[in-house]
Amino acid sequence: MEQPGAGWGGCTVSLVKESDVDAFMAAVRERYYASRIASGVVSEADMDKMFFASKPSSGAAVLKLGSRA
25 lies in some domain: yes
For the chain, give the number of residues: 69
28 lies in some domain: yes
Higher pLDDT, 67 or 63: 63
The predicted structure's pLDDT at residue 2: 52
Q: CA distances (Å), 57 to each of 40, 41, 54, 61, in order?
A: 34, 32, 9, 11
Q: Quote the pTM value.
A: 0.66
Chain centroid to Cα 48, Å, comes to 9
Domain range for 31 is: 18-50
1 lies in some domain: no
Domain count of the fold of the chain: 1
The predicted structure's pLDDT at residue 39: 95
pLDDT one-digit tens code per residue, 26-65:
999 999 999 999 999 989 999 988 889 998 888 788 888 8
The predicted structure's pLDDT at residue 4: 54
The predicted structure's pLDDT at residue 60: 80
